[in-house]
Every structure is written in C-alpha cells, then in structure tokens.
Structure 1
C-alpha cells in the first residue's frame, strides 16, 4: 500500500471540505447536474479519444497508484551477478534452478531461453519486444489520466456556460437565477478538483511507476545477454550499476 497516495488524496479532500464548512453547509457544493456534466463529459470524451479496452483497463492500472510492489534494482543486480558466477563456473545448465526460484516471468523466460541455447540476438529480440509491449501498456494508463485531467476542467467550463445561459434566460424569474448560477460555478469547481487532486497526480504517479518497472526490465535485459555471452560477472555488475543512478534520481522526484 502506497500511503503517500492515500494520505495525499484524503488530506486534499479533507482540506477542501474543512474550508467549505468554515463558510457554510457542505450541501451548497453538492449539485447533481454539475456532477453529471463534469463526470459524464469527461468519461465520454475519454471513450472517444481511446479504445474501449484502454478506458476499461484504466481502472486496473489505477490500482498501481495505491498498491505497487517492485523489486529493488540493487537486488536484481545482485541476483544476476550470482547467476552469472554460477553459469561461469558450472555452465549455463547449472542455472536451471534459478529459473524455478524466480517470481519474475520476464527473467524466468529470458533465463530459460539462455539455458535452451537460443542465440543471443534472438533472446535480445524477444526480450526487447516484450519490453516495448510492457512500456506501451504502462504508458497508456498514464496517458488516459492525463487526458482526463484536461477534459475535466473543460467540461467544468461547459457547465459554467450552460448555467450562465440558463441564468440569462430566466432573469425575469428570480427563483431560477440561484440554481442556474449554482450550476455555473460548481461545475468549474468540480472540474478543477478532479483534474488537480486526482487525474494529474495519478498520471504522474503512474509515470514514475512505469519508469521504475522499465528500469528493472532493462537491467534484466542487459544482465541476461551478458550471461548468455559468458561475460565476466564483475564487468556485468559494473555495467548494470549504471542503472542505479537513474533509479535513485527517479525516486527523489
């Protein structure tokens, strides 16, 4: 569980509700037509912009904002170095046990191809294609949320225009001005909250998750190819440690 995401969202909502309550009842900020305009419009635009599968997959990807477990790159490098030492001393067949012992399907498949004697270029091509596909799938979720962050305020403005038109059309009826003005103002409020408290931060968080996952895949890619080529374990380890600098920089962001 990522506490920073949960605490951030809950505290943001809490601060907004607290400020509202200081000035009056929260019911003033609850308006069904405004919710329909902003939420319905945002979802509709997203469905137009992306295939249905990507939109539905967004809910699955969003789980990574709150629950994300990934192996540390340092541990992956240490594991690959150990495997490399074993392969150098006992041959490639000696690492078959490591295939069964890993929970990473990407690493397991790469090691299995290595043990099976698949050519280095072929192993590299297959791993690269899987990495490209994973990158595409991971980036799609972040892009969907980024698009929703743009659509929500836009529909907030559309709701404002609707409210203003209704208000101007009923200037002779004072009882209708209040509700129309409410829609005009609250839709912009909803759009701004959804974009800045949820969609944009979630897109940024997913991008960071994606970068971390791809860093690990690159480490495995480079490490397995080095093992297949019989490269010295120490040289391989030094090469892979270059990725640690990138991983550390991303963690600080």
Structure 2
C-alpha cells in the first residue's frame, strides 16, 4: 500500500497542534495569550477541537476526499439552487438544441460537445459523436451519473464524520479541564481556569458540529439528490432530441419529470 505523504504531513501538523494545545492547557508551555477582554476565545480549546477533528477525519478518509470536501466547502455558498425553474430552463435549452439539431445534426452535436465539455451534457454529446447505440449511451451516462452522485455523497459523509467527531473531541477537552480542577482543588484561580476550559471545549465542539458540519453534510446530500435527478432528466432529453422526437413530445415528457419534483428530494436518489 502506497503511503500518502500529504496525509502524513497533515497528521503531523494537526497532531502537533493538538499536543501543543494540551501542553498549553497544562501550563507546560505558553505560546499565545489573549487580552482579558477576549477570554472567551480559548485558544487551547480551539486547538484541541480543530486538531482532534482533523486527525479523526485524516485517519478515516483518503486525503483527496478531504481536499475535495474542503474545496467544495469554499464554493458551496455560491451554488445555485436546483428548483423547478432550473429544470424548466433545462427544458428550454433542450428544445433550443433540438431546433439546431434539425438544421445541422453533425455540426450542432460537435459544437455542443465542445461548448459543454466540462458538464454532464457535454459528456453525453461526446458519446453521441462516437456513434454508440442508445442503450450503450444510457449505460455509460448512468454510470457517469452514479459516479458524480457518489462523489457528492462522499463529501457529505466527510462533513458528517467531522460533525460526529467534534463533540467527542470537545469531551476530551472537558475531561482535561476536570483533571486540572481536581489537581488544583485548593487553588481557586486554577479551579476557575479548569472549569472554563472544560466548558469551552464542549461549547466549541457542539458549535462546530451543529452549526457548521451537520448542516453542510445535509446540504451536500440534498445537492447530490438534485444533481442525480437533473442529470437523469438531461440524459433522457438529449437522447430524445437525438432520436428526432417532435418538440411537443420532448416538452411533455420533460414536463412530466418536472411535475414529480417535491420538497422532499429523497426520492431522487438512486436505490440499492
């Protein structure tokens, strides 16, 4: 099995962050001190939660999946929602392609494959250019759809794992805070510091899990389901225009797909 040096380096970095935070908590080292007005920013607590969560996920998943999840996190808030209007726009695009297809079949097919090269639709037009049969395109298009769906779902799982780990890592900090309290039971100042640290790590773990990681996991899961449904519709529509189906048939059939849209999108996901 080949070693992923990126994973090893990240494990060392976040392991060092975790150990350093623990040592600062135990007052063995003092790296950073905040002004008293910012006492609520307990840096060792942040370091323990962040370092522990990242160590957990680095051991659980390959590095490329974690990198993909972090890149997706950067762009997730700019993603447009897939709603009824999106699907209606897709239907209009397919009808426009159908009109161009009638005028010049081969030229339109090649131009669309080039223009849409980075999209699922471009992939389908590329398959059409190779003269595969309808069943072969359905099979290969279906495999591509499943692959893209599984990638997005895996991103959701990465954030779900982070969310699950965060409160547990927070409890680790809480136990350390209790140890500090018991070791300095006669020192009122150390007693207060230990109690503060114990509560802050739990707080950071819960905030990270329930206000960021779990919502992100849900968002990517819903995005995967929407994407799966949309690409199935696009595959069907492109094959219909390729077969020369009349515009009214394409409009009605795609409209039937759109009419099945629900607020609960779990029915869009593949089964089995």
Which TM-score band applies after superposition, normalised by the shorter structure? 0.7 to 0.9
Give the equivalent residue in structure 2 for 1:132: 146
- Higher relative CO (Cα under 8 Å, sequence separation at least 6) belongs to 1
Give the equivalent residue in structure 2 for 1:37: 48
Q: CA RMSD in A?
A: 2.5
- TM-score calculated relative to the size of structure 2: 0.73
Match among 127, 133, 136 for residue 119 of structure 1: 133
Q: Aligned pair 1:59/2:70, yes or no?
A: yes
Are the equivalent residues in 2 in contact too, given 1:208–1:250 (CA < 8 A)?
Answer: no
For these two proteins, the number of residue pairs brought into alignment is 226
* Structure 1 unaligned residues grouped into runs of 5+: 1-24
Q: Aligned pair 1:187/2:171, yes or no?
A: no
Q: State the SS of the aligned residue for 2:263.
A: helix
Summarize the Cα distance change of 1:208–1:26 in structure 2 as closer, same or farther, 3 Å threshold.
farther
Deviations 1:174-224 (A, max 9, x none): 332121111111111111111122112222222233333323211111112
Give the equivalent residue in structure 2 for 1:243: 257
User: Which structure 2 residues correspond to residues 102-181 of structure 1 after superposition, within 5 A?
Assistant: 102=116, 105-181=119-195
Deviations 1:104-123 (A, max 9, x none): 53212312332442211121
Rounded to whole Å, the distance in 2 between the matches of 1:105 and 1:149 is 31
- TM-score calculated relative to the size of structure 1: 0.78
How far off its partner does 1:84 sit? 3.1
* Structure 2 unaligned residues grouped into runs of 5+: 1-35, 266-272
Rounded to whole Å, the distance in 2 between the matches of 1:94 and 1:74 is 25
Give the equivalent residue in structure 1 for 2:31: none
Deviations 1:75-106 (A, max 9, x none): 1111212333554x457436334445546532
How far off its partner does 1:129 sit? 1.5
